[in-house]
Amino acid sequence: MRIDVLTSGIWQTTSTIIEVDGACLVIDPAYFPRELEAIAAHTAELGRIEAVVFTHGHWDHVMGHTAFDAPVWVSQTLEHSIITGHPRAAKYLEDARDFDSRWYVPRPRGHAWPLARRALADEEHLALGRELIRVLQLPGHSPDGLGLVAGDTLLVGDYLSPCEIPFVDNLDAYLVTLRRLIEVIEHGVREVIPGHGPRLTRAEAVAIARADLAYLERLLADGDAPLPRAADVIGMRDHHLENLAKLRSG
Ligand SMILES: [Zn+2]
- Ligand 1 centroid vs 158 CA: distance in angstroms? 5
- Ligand 1 centroid vs 130 CA: distance in angstroms? 31
pLDDT for 250: 67
Local confidence pLDDT in tens for the 250 residues of the chain: 999 999 999 999 999 999 999 999 999 999 999 999 999 999 999 999 999 999 999 999 999 999 999 999 999 999 999 999 999 999 999 999 999 999 999 999 999 999 999 999 999 999 999 999 999 999 999 999 999 999 999 999 999 999 999 999 999 999 999 999 999 999 999 999 999 999 999 999 999 999 999 999 999 999 999 999 999 999 999 999 999 998 888 6
**Distance separating alpha carbons of residues 58 and 236, to the nearest angstrom:** 18
Residue 28, Ramachandran bin (φ over 0: left; ψ between -120 and 50: alpha; else beta): left
Residue 226, Ramachandran bin (φ over 0: left; ψ between -120 and 50: alpha; else beta): beta
User: Which residues lie closer than 8 Å to 110 by C-beta, 6 or more apart?
Assistant: 66
The number of beta carbons lying within 10 Å of the beta carbon of residue 132 is: 14
In sequence order, the β-bridge partners of residue 49 are 24
Given a contact cutoff of 8 angstroms between Cβ atoms, the answer to whether 18 and 1 are in contact is yes
Residue 12, Ramachandran bin (φ over 0: left; ψ between -120 and 50: alpha; else beta): left
How many CA atoms lie less than 13 Å away from 245 in the CB half-sphere?
8
pLDDT for 214: 98
Q: Which domain holds residue 234?
A: 2-249
- Ligand 1 centroid vs 3 CA: distance in angstroms? 22
Domain count, the chain: 1
- Alpha-carbon Rg of the chain, whole angstroms? 17
- Ligand 1 centroid vs 141 CA: distance in angstroms? 7
Given a contact cutoff of 8 angstroms between Cβ atoms, the answer to whether 195 and 7 are in contact is no
- Ligand 1 centroid vs 168 CA: distance in angstroms? 10
- Ligand 1 centroid vs 21 CA: distance in angstroms? 31
pLDDT for 247: 87
- Ligand 1 centroid vs 223 CA: distance in angstroms? 24
- Ligand 1 centroid vs 42 CA: distance in angstroms? 25
pLDDT for 249: 81
- Ligand 1 centroid vs 56 CA: distance in angstroms? 7
- Ligand 1 centroid vs 122 CA: distance in angstroms? 19
- Ligand 1 centroid vs 186 CA: distance in angstroms? 24
pLDDT for 248: 83
- Ligand 1 centroid vs 60 CA: distance in angstroms? 7
- Ligand 1 centroid vs 195 CA: distance in angstroms? 8
* Angle made by CA atoms 29, 54, 216, in degrees to the nearest 5: 110
Short-list 211, 162, 150, CA closest to 20: 150
The domain spanning residue 104 has which CATH number?
3.60.15.10
Given a contact cutoff of 8 angstroms between Cβ atoms, the answer to whether 206 and 188 are in contact is no
Q: Classify burial at 157, counting beta carbons within 10 Å of its beta carbon; exposed 0-12, middle 13-18, buried 19 or more.
A: buried
- The whole-model pTM stands at 0.97
